[in-house]
Amino acid sequence: MSQEDQAASAGGLNGARHLEEESRGLLRKILLGQAYRQIMAANIRGHGLKFLSTSEGRWSLVADLAKILKSVSRAQEIYTAQGGGDLRQDAAVKMERIPYPASRLELAAFLATSDLAESIAMEGYSDSACVPLATLARENLVHERTATKRGQELFQAFAADPAQQAHAQQMFSRWLVIALLALGRPGTRGDERAVALGLRSRTCAQAAGLFLEQLDPFISACHLELPDLESLGVVLSP
């Protein structure tokens, strides 16, 4: 083999290694974002149990909680395989700024927004080049969360009262912003590369747009308005 061929071969190998390292790093970031959303959902569900008065309602929330924790454990396995450490601990730093609902209605607003955001995110991973992540995403999409549906109905009934509109809008806007931010920051190099490498099928901006589109029927049913997201710190496009 000539020196030129040897150099080309070495360059190709180094390029492949770099690509693999880049993919692994991006995959760890994806798993960290997923863990952030799911641990937040688990913590708030645990906190929200005190707002439910019936055994049926509590068991419904507990069933969702168990599924979420199982998913986080599965994500930890993938994270470890990609060179990551303790997924829960790595995600804990971002958890400090997440508020907790102060009422059953606020819990309902959280469930309505966060569960849709999680579903949109999982759809983006369902055909991921990382087979374990794709499998986990599809398993998450199969699970129907009955507590969320009940929460949506409760919030819709509350928002139907004109005297409660301002309060309903305030609660909705608060959790809408949190759900959108949890979908990731649009326009970063990592965002674009994750799609280019096939780790997910949508950019953060595309996911946010689809989220708002699918949330629109709920917004209309509750007679709510989409707030000025930019003024609340949400960037929807690069």
Domains annotated on the chain, with CATH: 3-232 (1.20.1260.10)
What pLDDT does residue 145 have? 78
What pLDDT does residue 21 have? 87
What pLDDT does residue 17 have? 52
Tell which residue, 101, 102, 112, has the closest CA to residue 221: 112
What's the burial of 194, exposed, middle or buried (CB within 10 Å: 0-12/13-18/19+)?
A: buried
What pLDDT does residue 238 have? 64
Q: How far apart are CA 173 and CA 169, in angstroms?
A: 6
State which residues of the chain have pLDDT below 50. Answer: 1-16
What pLDDT does residue 19 have? 54
Residue 17's CB is within 10 A of a number of other CB atoms, namely 10
